[in-house]
Amino acid sequence: MSTPNLQAFQDQVADLLLRHRSLLDVLSKYGQSDASVNRAVTKAITECGCLELHAKRQPYKEEMNLHEAKDSMESHVKGQLCEHCTEVIRSELGKHLFYMSALCNLLDIQLEDVIKDEAKKCQTLGIFNLS
C-alpha cells in the first residue's frame, strides 16, 4: 500500500468524520488528542522506563557561535523508545493528526499548504523562526 499524500488523508478524514462535525467538538478532541500524546510520552518515562528525562539548564553562553550552540544543546532524553511505547505514541500522534486534519477541513485550510508555508518560513527565518 502506498503512503497517501496529505490531501488524500485530509479527504479521508472528511469522509470519516461523522460525530464531531462541530468546530467546538473538533477543537476539544484536538486538545484531548494533544494531551494523549503528552501522556503516552510521559508513560514511556514513568511507567515503562524505556526513556529517561535528565532535564537541566542548557549550557548556552552568549560568546558561543551558532555551530557551538547547536552542538552544546541537549534534548535531555536518554534511552530509546521500546516497541510498545513507539506503537502507542505513533497511534496517539495519528489521532492528533486526524483531528488536525478535521480542523483544517472545517476551516477550509489545506494541511499541505500549512506545511509548505511553515517550511518556507523555516527556510527564510532559519534559526530565528522559533525564538
Q: What is the DSSP string of 4-43?
A: PPHHHHHHHHHHH--S--SHHHHHHHHHHHHHHHHHHHHH
Q: Is 72 part of any domain? A: yes
Q: Is 7 part of any domain? A: no
Q: Is 15 part of any domain? A: no
Q: Is 37 part of any domain? A: yes
Number of domains in the chain: 1
CATH code (residue 81): 1.10.287
Q: Is 55 part of any domain? A: yes
d(CA 29, CA 41): 18
pTM of the model: 0.81
Report the candidate in 89, 94, 98 with the shortest Cα–Cα distance to residue 20: 98
Q: Is 89 part of any domain? A: yes
Residues 100-116: what's their mean pLDDT?
94
d(CA 100, CA 31): 10
Write down the mean pLDDT value for the chain: 87
Host domain of residue 113: 22-130
Residues 60-83: what's their mean pLDDT?
80
Residues 26-33: what's their mean pLDDT?
95
What is the model's pLDDT at position 129? 55
Range with the lowest mean pLDDT among 31-35, 52-56, 102-106? 52-56
pLDDT > 90? residue 127: no
Q: Is 8 part of any domain? A: no
Q: Is 17 part of any domain? A: no
| Contact (Cβ atoms closer than 8 angstroms) between residue 15 and residue 105 | no
